[in-house]
Structure formats: C-alpha cells, structure tokens
Amino acid sequence: MRKVRVGIAGLGTVAQGVLTLLGRNHQLILERTGLSIDVVRVASRRAKEVDLLGADFSTQLSDLVTDERVDIVLELIGGEQEAHQLIQDALAAGKRVVTANKAVIAAHGNTLLAGDQGSRLAFEAAVAGAIPIVDALQRSLVANRFRQLLGIINGTCNYMLTTMELEGISFDEVLARAQSLGYAEADPSFDIEGIDAAHKLTILLALAFGARFEFDKIFVEGIAHITADDIRYAAELGYRIKHLGIARQRQSGLEARVHCALVANDSLLSHVDGVANAVALSADAAGDMLLSGPGAGAEATASAAVADIIALAGSTDTRETSPQGAEAIQRDQDNSTSGETQLLAMDDIESAYYLRIPTLDRPGVFAKVAAILSDSNISIEAVIQKEVKAGKEEVFIVILTDTVAEKMMSATCNALGELEDVVGSIVSIRVAPTD
Amino acid sequence: MRKVRVGIAGLGTVAQGVLTLLGRNHQLILERTGLSIDVVRVASRRAKEVDLLGADFSTQLSDLVTDERVDIVLELIGGEQEAHQLIQDALAAGKRVVTANKAVIAAHGNTLLAGDQGSRLAFEAAVAGAIPIVDALQRSLVANRFRQLLGIINGTCNYMLTTMELEGISFDEVLARAQSLGYAEADPSFDIEGIDAAHKLTILLALAFGARFEFDKIFVEGIAHITADDIRYAAELGYRIKHLGIARQRQSGLEARVHCALVANDSLLSHVDGVANAVALSADAAGDMLLSGPGAGAEATASAAVADIIALAGSTDTRETSPQGAEAIQRDQDNSTSGETQLLAMDDIESAYYLRIPTLDRPGVFAKVAAILSDSNISIEAVIQKEVKAGKEEVFIVILTDTVAEKMMSATCNALGELEDVVGSIVSIRVAPTD
C-alpha cells in the first residue's frame, strides 16, 4: 500500500464533493490502485460543518505549502489571483498540484506548465467536469493529429438553449428558471457571455493543437441574442442551436471561437441536452469521437480531481503527465510559433450561415435579398419565408447559406440592412463546421 | 529524447494501420511525449508490400521474443491460441506487451493480468477501437463505483440495425450489403451472434466491476431475429433497437448480458448510428457519461495501440497501468468472490419487455392477452394494435411492459403462446435499463 497525503484549499461545493467522495470510496480506490489517499489538511477562510476526514483545519492557505506532510495540494478556491499564487507557491515548494481552476490555467498555463514543473500540475477537473477530455488529449489520443474540436462546454448555456427549445420560452424566462434551479449564478454573465467556455477552449486548444494559452485571443460570443424563433426555424431546417467552443486546424492557421452555432440533427453532438457537456473530436487516426457527461457539479468535478491525484501520486516520469503542455511550452520558449498554431483573426474564418431577415411584406423583397447574396457570390442552401401574422406587416426571411468568408458575410449583412424593406436588425448565426 | 523499440506481430489491417500512423506521426508523437517509437522487427507468416519503417522482417513470431532490442511486443495476429502463446512468452521474457486481441484477454485475462506481470500488458485496442474506455475505467473514472454500463460494442450489428431502420429493409438484405461493404465477414456469425460483443463485455465487466474474466458466463443473443416490423413498432413507442452489452450492479450480484434492446429516443446512446461504437456509464460520482467513436478500423485501432505503447514506455509503477486488473486478480487469488461480483443467472435479472404477439383478428383476443399478463402481475405500459392488412387474418398486438422478472416473462410468453388465437411465435425484446 502506498500513501499520498493531500492538502485541500477551499471548502466550497467541489471541495465538499471531494471529501464526500474520498469518505465513501477510499477503500474502493485503495483496492483498485493500491493507493491510500489521506487528506491531512484543509485550508479555507471559514470553517464549515463538514466531515474533514480527520484532516487539520487552517484558515491560512499558506499552511498547505508549509505543511511538510502535504504531497499534493488540491486547489479548489476558485477565483484567479489568490489561486494562481497558491499554485505557484506549492509548485515552488516542490509539491504536486491538482486544480479545477480553468481561469488560472487559461491565463497562466504558459508559465505554470513550463519545464519540469508542468509534470507536477494536473488540471483534468478544469475542463468539462468528469469528462476525461484532458486525459484523452494527453494520453489516449496522443498519437493523433486533430482536425477539429467542437465542444458544448458550458452547462448553463446548454441547459438554457435546450429548455428554450423544448418549451418554446424566451431567454429571460429560461434565465430566471436556471437561476432558481442553481444552474445559473445571480450574475450569470460569466456563463451566458461565453467567458467560461472561452477559458475551457483556451485549454483544449493548447492540448489538442499545441497552441499557447492565450485566453484573450479567443473570439467570444454568448447566447443572449438567441430567440425562440431562431430555435424553431433552425429545427425546421434540420438543426439545433448549441453554444460551442470551436477549434479547427486550417492550412493558414488555427480557428478558435466561442459562439452559438447550428448543429445538424444527424450529429451526436446535437443530441447533448440539458446541463450535460460534450466534446466532439476529429482526429486523423481515431476518426470522429465524442465524449459526453456532466460538465459541473460537486462530485463530477471531484471525480476528475481525485483521478488527477491518483495519476500524480503514481507518476515518476516528468514528461508523462503533461506531454502536450510540454509541447506548448517548448514552442513558447523557442519563440517560434509555427504557422499551424497561429490563431486566425475572426475575419479570416469561413462558415455557413443562418440569417433571419425581418422585412416588410411586399412583392419583390426576396428578389432584392437574393440579388445581394448573389452579388456577394453567396449560395443559398435553404430558405424559409413565413406568412405574416395577423395585423403585422413584418415577415421573416430565413436563409441558410453555403460556406462563406466571415468578412464577406459581415459586408453582405450590412448591405442587406440598407435595403429599404429590411425593418430591423438581421440575425446571423454561424453553422457548425462538419469536417 | 527517450526511445522505445517495438516488435510487431502480424501484418494484417491493424498492423498496417500502426505502421502508417507511426510513419506519418512519428515526429508529432516525439514532440508531444518526448518519446521516439522505433519499430525494430515485424513478424508475420507472409511478407507484404508494406513500408516496415526500416524494421527487420521475420516469418517466426518467436523472433520477437528472442530479439533483445524489442522492449514492447505489439500483438496483432488475431485468433486465440497462437496469440495467447506469444503474449505469454513475451511477458515471461520480461517484455511489455500491447494487444488488440479481445478474445485472448476475455479468455485468459485472469492469468495474463495476474500479479506484477499485469502491469506490463495493455489492451486498450481490444475494446471499442479508438474509444478510450479502458483508460477511462482504469484511470479517469477510477474513483467511481459503477452502477451500470451499456455498450454498443459491435459495429457490424449497429450498422445493420441502423440501416434496417433507415431503409426499412430486411435482415438478409442488410447483411448482404454489410458484407459487400466489408462491414461484415463472409462468415458473419462471430459478429451477428454477439460473440465479439461478449468478448468485449467480459473485459469491461472486469475493469468496471472487478469481476473475473469469464467469457463463458456471459448471456449472449445476436440480432438475426430482429425484423423491420419490430424496428418500426419500437420507433412508434419512442425507442430504437440497438445490440447492447449490458452490465449492471444489483444488490444480489452483477448482470452481464449481450442482446438486442429497446433504447429510449431521449438517450444519447440511441443516437449512436452506423458502424460507431459507444459506451454509456453510470457512476456514483461522475454521473452519466458516454464515450463514442469508431469501434474498429485500421487506424482507429492503431490509435489505441500506439497510446498503449506510449503509456507502457513511460510507466514504472507496477500498479498504475492495470489497477483494476489487479483488483480482479486479487479477488481471484483470494478465491473469495464477493456477492457483488457474482454474475446473476439470466433467470434472476429484471427487465421491461417489448412483445409482438401475432394473433387472429377476432373479438376478445386482446382481452385474453391482457388477462394472462394481469395474472402474472405484469403491467402494460403501452399497446399498439395494427389494422389487418388486406387479405390477412393476422394482426400484431405489440405491448410494452413494466419491469418484470425474466423467469416470469418466459412463463408468461409460454402461456400466451398456448392461446388458440395466437398464430405464430411471440417476439420478445428486452428494454434497456435506464437507471
């Protein structure tokens, strides 16, 4: 029997999930792995009525670093600055660190994972909860070159979009419900504006494509502009609207973007509903893979954190636990970012588009719209034109286009908006890439 | 840079996939993992016009064992006896072994994985191709107790059932097509009778539930009895018919069975189509997970085998690479199989059922059927009774039952079969468990 002694920073939901999980499955883990995971210290600003499994309690985070018994620090305090400091200090003290903190990894991954130290830092719990996507990218699929990654990586957004579709209710109604169910925070902006998803995509991009951790270079849009109308029209066209993190290897560089997209009904990803997360990968050898599961929750996140503890407790090879981090760092130090890992500007991506154009119900309007698209060399794949509702002069022209350059589509939408018959803002939603 | 020297047994499809993958991505793997994978010898009965990446060629498998340069033997010859012998010999010679051979692991896992030797044998490629299910069970989800595992683990069966549904064609038609496309062998019995799926389920059962590798104790049914009618009626009831490997932890023991089942449309598993495989897991901490991808194919299988090579090349910990194998073996050596890991007899399982009862179109038939079900205490969840086709006296009564003991359902079907108005054999298909 080997032992590993863990110090936990934080006593919030996830930390409590870890304590519950270790309390319940300590013996099972020992039988399976030969490892006894012993929590020796918990540090948190305030004590709570929680079973600490016999661990000492501190109000000072620094006690975890100075406690010589602690082999592995499990960082679960959240936030950015204080957590970053703790991780740095623990690594500098020679400890191994497990974190669920996507913001810290997304912002500081380049330095935290640099060199040998990177092999002592594990972060499976930072991306998509219990889904073993970090392990898949670092180990199981490490022999593959990736073409594309599409991720439903924010459970709040997915719950809200799924519920809007199932019940035909508005964004504001579903937000209120998500808040009452605890799926959305009182200030929901972090989730619904896409920031959380962008943190995760930053990490996935580094692991799958060897890109630098550069959160601020990811294009981000949220879900607040999606209406029940758009969800319904998308369904008529054979699609569902999902909030995605998208990474694609193109010849000229890497696409990295977070936004809502139409996902075709015949893809498995389109059927990932509610608060579930999923990552769909296209790899040169493995083909098309999908990993799905709970993206958040106390014990789901704890499951990933405890797996990291077990992996770090057993690892002796400095390259093994963080090979792709190592790759990213190598590139960083060389200062020779290759074309392949350079992020493309949003203007340089290509996508098919869903357009909803509010127009007056007059003869010839569709012809004018079609002429503008034709002038821009944009092919129309499908059209829906809806009857006018009683007493309304407005009609929606809904168009699904073929693939077109983002820059061209922006210009075309501007041109469409200048038509006299167009009587409101044009909604444009990208279609998720399929290859 | 570390080096690992590999000897490959076999030169069939998967072996060629490994050579192609290593030829293409050798540098990528080196950058990511710091490991150079060098193939030093390939052994196969016959030479082929294939790029051996500079490896020596032998017609004797034993050359792989005696070649002192070989660190890892990659067994890809298939079959059972010869492959088993090679794996044993290579392990006895102190080498590490990677195999894609599900039959050998399912039949000989208890001895091959026993003791320290188990840590030198990896078999991710033996189950569900590129899907990292072995790694998930051994590492990523190792802190979890599993409640249930449902797997679409035979691509041939899934292709055939999907195509029967999409095109409404018969079993014989789709079998011919699957054979012409190379999705089914000339002798398809291994796949369509469920043997292949049972091999894989045996392995999953050992990994997830610590059961012994006992292939011969798994209940197995194939897909040949499924008709286009059943697929259509199932769809009307909100289900799709999939060929599943099912493992469930019950209070009284473990269920382990391979058969066709109705899978509810609102589950992600029901949307896994064509030759794809998928494993859905219910775990106490991680919750409901699904891993999907190609279950076969040269490079998909190669992706898993190469990942195993990399993991074995880096591993120094004897428990780490095969913790759950170690658990199963421990139980084996103790000879103290606990109630939890005892396989339940098929009579002792419980399931909901789909029944299709061919009856004469006479008044009162349904009442008689309902009375027999009621006498057996079987609740009816849904009923479809179809109009008679012109010129036919026969009508199908289709019933979806509540959960009932297998033994009771067998007896009830016998009783139904004795009704004068029942004019053919009753088709019964289990419904996949949902919890």
Question: If DSSP states are collapsed to H, E and C, what string results for chain A?
Answer: CEEEEEEEECCCHHHHHHHHHHHHHHHHHHHHHCEEEEEEEEECCCCCCCCCCCCEEECCCHHHHHCCCCCEEEECCCCCHHHHHHHHHHHHCCCEEEECCHHHHHHHHHHHCCCHHHHHEECHHHCCCCCCHHHHHHHHCCCCCEEEEEEECCHHHHHHHHHHHHHCCCHHHHHHHHHHCCCCCCCCHHHHCCHHHHHHHHHHHHHHHCCCCCHHHCEECCCCCCCHHHHHHHHHCCEEEEEEEEEEEECCEEEEEEEEEEEECCCHHHHCCCCEEEEEEEECCCEEEEEEEECCCHHHHHHHHHHHHHHHHHCCCCCCCCHHHHHHHHHHHHCCCCHHHCECCHHHCEEEEEEEEEEECCCCHHHHHHHHHHHCCCCEEEEEECCCCCCCCEEEEEEEECCEEHHHHHHHHHHHHCCCCECCCCEEEEECCCC
Give the model's confidence band at B393: pLDDT under 50 very low, under 70 low, under 90 confident, else very high.
confident
Q: In this predicted model, which residue has the larger pLDDT, A214 or B339?
A: A214
Give the model's confidence band at A128: pLDDT under 50 very low, under 70 low, under 90 confident, else very high.
very high
Half-sphere exposure in the Cβ direction for B72 (13 Å, CA): 29
CA separation for the pair A403, A351 (Å, rounded): 5
Examine the pLDDT at A411 and tell me if it is beyond 70. Answer: yes
CA distance B350 to chain A (A): 27
pLDDT value at position B394?
85
Beta-carbon contacts below 8 Å between A and B = 210
Q: Which domains does chain A have, with CATH numbers?
A: 2-132+299-334 (3.40.50.720), 137-294+338-346 (3.30.360.10), 348-431 (3.30.70.260)
Give the model's confidence band at B341: pLDDT under 50 very low, under 70 low, under 90 confident, else very high.
confident
Examine the pLDDT at B336 and tell me if it is beyond 60. Answer: no
pLDDT in tens, B273-313: 999 999 999 999 999 999 999 988 999 999 999 999 999 99
pLDDT value at position B340?
64
Q: Under an 8 A CB cutoff, do B293 and A288 touch?
A: yes
CA distance B289 to chain A (A): 4
Examine the pLDDT at A328 and tell me if it is beyond 70. Answer: no
Examine the pLDDT at B339 and tell me if it is beyond 70. Answer: no
Examine the pLDDT at A355 and tell me if it is beyond 90. Answer: yes
- Report the pLDDT averaged over residues A332-342: 54
pLDDT value at position B321?
40
- Report the pLDDT averaged over residues A384-401: 82
Best of A113, A273, A303, A310 to disrupt the B interface by mutation (most B CBs within 10 Å)?
A303
B contact residues 183-212, partner A, Cβ 8 Å cutoff: 210
pLDDT value at position B328?
46
CA separation for the pair A9, B200 (Å, rounded): 41
ipTM of the complex: 0.93
> Beta A276-283 vs A287-294: how paired, if at all?
antiparallel
Burial track B185-204 (b if 16+ CB lie within 10 A, e otherwise):
eeebebbbbbbbbbbbbbbb
B287 closest CB neighbour out of A130, A142, A289: A130
At B256 the three-state DSSP class reads: strand
Give the model's confidence band at A389: pLDDT under 50 very low, under 70 low, under 90 confident, else very high.
low
pLDDT value at position B320?
40
Q: Under an 8 A CB cutoff, do B32 and A142 touch?
A: yes
pLDDT value at position A317?
41
- Report the pLDDT averaged over residues B208-228: 94
B34 closest CB neighbour out of A17, A131, A323: A323
pLDDT value at position B338?
52
User: Does residue A3 sit at the B interface (CB-CB below 8 Å)?
Assistant: no
A293 closest CB neighbour out of B271, B289, B303: B289
pLDDT in tens, A158-175: 999 999 999 999 999 999
pLDDT value at position B66?
97
- Report the pLDDT averaged over residues B305-326: 67
pLDDT value at position A185?
85
pTM of the model: 0.94
pLDDT in tens, A39-57: 999 999 999 999 999 999 9
B contact residues 255-294, partner A, Cβ 8 Å cutoff: 268, 271-272, 276, 283-294
Count of beta carbons in the 10 Å neighbourhood of residue B181: 11
pLDDT value at position A116?
86
pLDDT in tens, B226-245: 999 999 999 999 999 999 99
Q: Under an 8 A CB cutoff, do B286 and A299 touch?
A: yes
Active site residues of A: 200
Active site residues of B: 200
Examine the pLDDT at B41 and tell me if it is beyond 80. Answer: yes
pLDDT value at position A418?
95
- Report the pLDDT averaged over residues B23-35: 95
Give the model's confidence band at B330: pLDDT under 50 very low, under 70 low, under 90 confident, else very high.
very low
Give me A30's structure tokens. 């020992």
B294 closest CB neighbour out of A21, A287, A291: A287
Best of A32, A162, A315 to disrupt the B interface by mutation (most B CBs within 10 Å)?
A32
pLDDT value at position A182?
86
- pLDDT-wise least confident of A35-44, B214-223, B327-336: B327-336
pLDDT value at position B101?
96
A36 φ, ψ (degrees, to nearest 5): -100, 120
Q: CB-based burial of residue A136 (10 Å sphere; 0-12 exposed, 13-18 middle, 19+ buried)?
A: buried
Examine the pLDDT at A331 and tell me if it is beyond 90. Answer: no
At B223 the three-state DSSP class reads: coil
Q: Which residues of B touch A292 (CB under 8 A)?
A: 268, 289-292
Examine the pLDDT at A325 and tell me if it is beyond 50. Answer: no
Q: What is the mean pLDDT of chain B?
A: 92
Best of B289, B301, B321, B331 to disrupt the A interface by mutation (most A CBs within 10 Å)?
B289
User: Does residue B131 sit at the A interface (CB-CB below 8 Å)?
Assistant: yes
Report the residue of chain A nearest B296, measured CA to CA: A286
Q: Under an 8 A CB cutoff, do B17 and A294 touch?
A: no
- pLDDT-wise least confident of A318-332, A391-405, B59-73: A318-332
pLDDT value at position A225?
93
Examine the pLDDT at B134 and tell me if it is beyond 90. Answer: yes
